[in-house]
Amino acid sequence: MSAFALERRGGVAIVSFDTPNEPVNKISKAVGWELEELLGRLILDEPVKAIVLRSGKRDTFIAGADIEEFVQLRSVEEAVRLSRDGQLLMQKFADSPKPIVVAIHGACLGGGLELALACQYRVASDHPKTQLGLPETQLGLLPGAGGSNRLPRLIGLRAALDIILAGKSERAKKALKIGLVDEVVPEAILLETAIAAAERLARGWRAPRPGRGVAGVLLDHNPIGRTVVFRKAEATVLQKTGGHYPAPLRALEVIRTSLDRGMKRGLEAEAQAFGELAMTDVSRRLVEIFFATTALKKDDGVPSGSGRPRVVRRLAVIGSGFMGAGIAGTAVLNADVEVRMKDADLARVGKGLKAATDILRARMRRRRLTTYEFTRKSALLSGTGDFSGFAGAEIAIEAVFEELSVKRQVMAELEAAVPTDMVLATNTSTIPIHDIAVGARHPERILGMHFFSPVEKMPLLEVIPTSMTSADAIVTAVQFGRAMGKTVIVVGDAPGFWVNRILSPYLNEAGFLLEEGVPIEVIDKAMTDWGFPVGPIALLDEVGLDVGEKAGKVMHQAFGDRLAPSKVIAVMRGDDRLGRKNGRGFYFYKDGHKTGPDGSIFQLLGVRPAGEVDVARVQERLIYAMLNESAMAMSEGVVRQPRDGDIGAIFGIGFPPFRGGPLRTLDAFGAAETVAKLERLEAAHGHRFRVAPVLEEMARTGGRWYPADGR
Ligand code: 3HC
């Protein structure tokens, strides 16, 4: 069945792209051949004077090249060829003697945007779903169908680098501003506008191009200015990626070649770089992450069809502190539901409502929300000092103080006040949900929803059913979490669940290193060099030492001496240090900004900071503590499959994406090598490094977490 339908309006041929039985349009090899053949026919078709290309899909224009095909690539040469084929296809569009106008509604990404760039005129709908971008670097690649060459020529060097290096997308309005599209119109008149433009172009009209401005002339079009831009961009890339991601650096090289030596050389460099990047482990890991997150969008955490989700229109939130307000604001922002917030007194409720509204306001300031949408969404928030207005909600999330007795009491009050079919979720980071649900009248509707802080920014949500939770409740919570914009993993009801479980020995180990006098900045830099966004000590300051202390105790109690916390946090707490929140932590803070490490911890501990430190040893201890715990938790079934564990670690604690997550890392290190390393660590540092039995087993049998080849 063809992916393209043809319709004629006078001299304009309207091509609708709609791949049968696929949710989005992708430019696969087969689609490319068909498109090329169709274009050839239209060029020879005398009555056709111009062409309009649109999508037949509801909310995507074209999602890019077919990423599935990248997974099949086996050599650099093969990948170079794929890129060359893409470039040649786009060139046919660019060389068309008949003008081609693209009518863009929905996602126009990667190869989709490269196709649009090769056409003569671009009209986009002003719908929020319309996003134009080149996300290739996020897959460890670069735009390989001419985009690295065409974008800087169309919108200027600096604007192009901004998009390509970060792999980001722009909405239609911004796309118009930077000259990426020629017109933006409401969706209702998109096609008509594109046809009118096609007719004008066919009559010889030339689209006006925006001027470049003084900075454009000096920096984008002048070799000396360009050198400055490239140098600055390279420094920024290195600072942001720590040199772990080769794609943005290769993209810089290609763009430079293209602008300095011409498009022909530029295209050759582009295909070569694409081919080499496609074969890197980094790209493989990032592509796997794309497929894992996509698969999670469809995974409700129960066998397919076994749970009936409740459609959530109203959310009740108990507790209007930092977490409660974050949950409320994010729910209104992304899920567009009414939120009723309750706390013990109205003054606190007022504060919570303000904090939730501030989340919306921040979006409006960043132009991600219109004033109208801000006002409308703000009106969805309301508060109460009792349970009034709760009965209409489909789901309630409590986010009160992290104390079992308090949480139990809140659940009991909730159960007494709301209808029996409402799903009741508790937001906790460590307390087993079973302990909260036990004794409830309807434990089948109780589960955990572990949000990460700050809720509006952190992408992960752990949903934690107990053995008593119904499938209906699980599906409702998972789907609602997704509507809130979260990547959701369903995890076992074990202390710390997944993320805090694997984090716990890692943070403890950082404490032991401090006890030995290893300087704060050495520990943190060791881990940022390894690829984490922040080091473990800085993370403790962010999380809060009170929270860390409480979590440490729960884990110690649950897992015994193996997870006994270092004494560092208790010492810090004894000196009234809470981390960033009270401006007193392992680091100094000024006006909320971290200024530098506070070495006085060593006086408190009574140790002398070490002079020479072997950084590789520091990395080893921290990493293997986390990897070993990941293996242990996996073998206990805390997550259902390695995919969830890796995505949880990447999205929950910033485990370096280019390494693919702790379980992928274990596979890369190899079970036998990992066991040998852990045995050495155990001999040196004690039984907290005792090898997870599952790893010993894997070392014996040559086992892995993932199949050796494939996903
Ligand atoms: N290739 C292969 N499959 C793709 C795809 C692509 N480019 N884009 C989406 N899909 C698949 C998904 O895997 C999923 O498949 P499934 O139903 O079998 O699980 C299905 O399409 C639907 O995708 P989503 O669930 O993600 O749908 P959403 O509506 O939530 O999001 C989207 C749509 C915004 C287009 C999102 O899918 C997306 O961001 N896609 C990837 C975009 C991208 O990275 N493009 C660049 C590709 S690389 C490239 O073009 C190289 C070129 O320069 C040569």
How does DSSP assign 75-94, residue by residue? Answer: SHHHHHHHHHHHHHHHHHHH
Cα 501 to Cα 517: distance, rounded to the nearest angstrom: 26
- Name the residue with the closest Cα to ligand 1, atom 11: 24
Q: Can you give the pTM of this predicted structure?
A: 0.95
State the catalytic residues: 462
Contact 122, 116 (CB under 8 A): yes
If one counts every other C-beta atom within 10 angstroms of the C-beta of residue 231, the result is 11
- Name the residue with the closest Cα to ligand 1, atom 35: 63
Contact 630, 663 (CB under 8 A): yes
Any ligand 1 atom below 6 A from CB of 110? yes
- Name the residue with the closest Cα to ligand 1, atom 24: 294
Any ligand 1 atom below 6 A from CB of 149? no
> Topology of 499-701 in CATH?
N-(1-d-carboxylethyl)-l-norvaline Dehydrogenase; domain 2 (1.10.1040)
In this prediction, the residues of the chain whose per-residue pLDDT falls under 50 are: none
Could you say which of 3.90.226.10, 3.40.190.10, 3.40.50.300, 1.10.3330.10 is the CATH number of the domain covering 4-279? 3.90.226.10
Residue 228 alpha carbon to ligand 1 centre in Å = 35
CATH 1.10.1040.50: which residues of the chain?
A: 499-701
Cα 165 to Cα 39: distance, rounded to the nearest angstrom: 32
Cα separations (Å) of 73 from 20, 32, 63, 67, 68?
24, 17, 20, 10, 10
Largest CA distance in the chain: 88
Could you say which of 1.20.120.1780, 3.40.50.720, 3.30.70.120, 3.90.470.10 is the CATH number of the domain covering 314-490? 3.40.50.720
What's the gap between Cα 423 and its chain centre?
Answer: 27
Phi (first) and psi of residue 626, to 5 degrees:
-70, -40
Any ligand 1 atom below 6 A from CB of 524? no
Residue 222: predicted pLDDT: 80
Any ligand 1 atom below 6 A from CB of 140? no
Residue 290 alpha carbon to ligand 1 centre in Å = 8
What's the gap between Cα 642 and its chain centre?
Answer: 18
Any ligand 1 atom below 6 A from CB of 26? yes
Q: Which atom of ligand 1 is nearest to the CA of 114?
A: 53
For the chain, the residue count is: 711
Contact 184, 193 (CB under 8 A): no
Task: Let me know if 437 is exposed, middle or buried by CB neighbors in 10 A (0-12, 13-18, 19+).
Answer: buried
Residue 710: predicted pLDDT: 58
Residue 150 alpha carbon to ligand 1 centre in Å = 22
If one counts every other C-beta atom within 10 angstroms of the C-beta of residue 79, the result is 24
Locate 17 and state its tokens. 């792209």
Contact 4, 17 (CB under 8 A): yes
Cα 472 to Cα 460: distance, rounded to the nearest angstrom: 21
Contact 586, 601 (CB under 8 A): yes
Shortest CA distance to 630 belongs to which of 669, 680, 658? 669
Residue 258 alpha carbon to ligand 1 centre in Å = 28
Percentage of residues of the chain with pLDDT beyond 90: 91
Look up residue 218 and give its DSSP letter. I
- Name the residue with the closest Cα to ligand 1, atom 8: 63
Q: Which atom of ligand 1 is nearest to the CA of 83?
A: 54
Residue 149 alpha carbon to ligand 1 centre in Å = 23
Any ligand 1 atom below 6 A from CB of 32? no
Cα 493 to Cα 450: distance, rounded to the nearest angstrom: 11
Cα 120 to Cα 51: distance, rounded to the nearest angstrom: 10
Residue 410: predicted pLDDT: 94
Look up residue 141 and give its DSSP letter. -
CATH 3.40.50.720: which residues of the chain?
A: 314-490
